[in-house]
Amino acid sequence: MSAQTDKVVHWLLSSLEPRSELFHVGQYCGDWQASTAGRAKASFHIVLHGSMWLHFADGRESIPVSEGEAVFLLRDVPHWLSPDPINPKVGTAAGDQPIERRGTMQPLDESISGSVGLACGFVEFQSIVSRAIVSLFPEILIVRHGDDAYRGIHVLFDLIRVEGQRGIDEPSPLIDRLVELLLFYAVRDAAHHDTVTSGLAALMQRTGFNTLVATIIESPGDAWTTDSMAAFANMSRTAFYKHFSEASGHPPMQFVTLIRMRLAADLLQQGLPISRAGEMVGYQSESAFAHAFKRTMGTQPGAWRRQRDGLSQSAARLH
């Protein structure tokens, strides 16, 4: 991976801001069917022991998932899990019947033959920026045994399994943090193979675009315009706008604003004054910066910093 691509991956990871929410941890036995679909949220399924199949309501090919593997569904994809490799909805009209849930989750016990241990839940991406970035991701990320990332993250599966054995009534809150770490590793591994997002992957594969994106991240305060970016990429304005928008999923200046606001948020969290943070990402007017920040992040810069300061203080009290 080039230094420019690596810089974009680092920015991508720092921009995700995921918050995991465990739904349940335990195991199913016998005939069962489960799903996290229908709640308008991203979700995850981590196989702690045994194996299962991931089925889709649109009839796409079912996916086997085994012990020590994980699935992150980054959209509310109609799906269900089961021990049966045959998709029961193949041949039916999409949406003609609700997803049926069967079986009762029991405490983890690997000694029971045929059981499947699972940790399942939801992931919320907290800022408008992170949700915009995730909108470029494929619907599904899967962590496999054979992935390059697996060598570094297999311990996370072991820790989740240990925490899950504490019981299904009051599962350990540490599982949420471990799932977030697992997602970071999954995204980084996929990004290193240019498969995380069709947008960033396409940008990074195009000569001129990869260096451009890295330079924008490095120098967000420069006077970037569509014309200057087109010149940087040695393209006409019309061709640049078309190809960049198609690749990233955003018009060029909207993409620049996403980068600027994320970097500004980091500067605010470091304690810089609002005016200085705005200046460093290209805004001479504090009011213009505040307007752009609110439009992108969903809140005013001062309110965002106070909220983050409150979260940091709460975390410090927990420790």
Predicted local distance difference test score (pLDDT) of residue 211: 83
Predicted local distance difference test score (pLDDT) of residue 249: 77
Same domain, 81 and 174: yes
**Considering only CA atoms, which of 179, 140, 148 is closest in space to residue 58?**
140
Same domain, 237 and 191: no
Same domain, 271 and 308: yes
pLDDT, one tens digit for every residue, the chain (319 residues): 456 556 666 667 777 788 999 998 999 999 999 999 888 899 999 999 999 999 998 878 999 999 999 999 988 888 999 999 988 765 444 444 555 678 888 999 888 989 999 999 999 987 766 776 776 677 888 888 876 666 778 889 999 999 988 766 677 889 999 999 898 888 777 666 544 444 565 676 676 787 888 788 888 999 999 999 999 999 999 999 999 988 877 899 998 998 898 888 888 878 899 999 999 999 999 999 999 999 988 889 998 888 766 544 433 333 3
Same domain, 254 and 116: no
DSSP code of residue 102: B
Same domain, 183 and 249: no
**Domain-located, residue 238:** yes
The Cα 217–Cα 238 span in angstroms is 23
Predicted local distance difference test score (pLDDT) of residue 234: 93
Full-model pTM: 0.71
Phi, psi of 274 (to 5 degrees): -60, -45
Same domain, 165 and 267: no
Same domain, 29 and 142: yes
Residue 135 sits in which domain range?
3-9+16-196
The residue out of 162, 196, 230 marking a domain boundary is 196
**Domain-located, residue 213:** yes
**Tokens 């504490």 belong to residue:** 166
Query: Any idea what the CATH number is for the domain that residue 143 is in?
Result: 2.60.120.10
The Cα 238–Cα 106 span in angstroms is 59
**Tokens 């770490």 belong to residue:** 181
Same domain, 33 and 137: yes
Predicted local distance difference test score (pLDDT) of residue 186: 80
Predicted local distance difference test score (pLDDT) of residue 166: 78
**Considering only CA atoms, which of 172, 141, 205, 160 is closest in space to residue 68?**
160
- Which positions ≥6 away from 4 have C-beta within 8 Å? 204, 210, 211, 213, 214
How many domains does the structure of the chain reveal?
Answer: 2
Same domain, 174 and 229: no
Predicted local distance difference test score (pLDDT) of residue 68: 92
Same domain, 42 and 81: yes
**Considering only CA atoms, which of 19, 9, 10 is closest in space to residue 183?**
19
The residue out of 170, 196, 222 marking a domain boundary is 196
Same domain, 144 and 165: yes
Predicted local distance difference test score (pLDDT) of residue 77: 87
Query: Any idea what the CATH number is for the domain that residue 247 is in?
Result: 1.10.10.60
**Domain-located, residue 174:** yes
The residue out of 176, 196, 216 marking a domain boundary is 196
Predicted local distance difference test score (pLDDT) of residue 119: 94
Same domain, 250 and 300: yes
Q: Yes or no: say if 189 and 148 are a contact pair by the CB < 8 Å rule.
A: yes
Query: In one letter, which amino acid is 57?
Result: A
**Domain-located, residue 319:** no
**Considering only CA atoms, which of 84, 82, 199, 56 is closest in space to residue 140?**
56
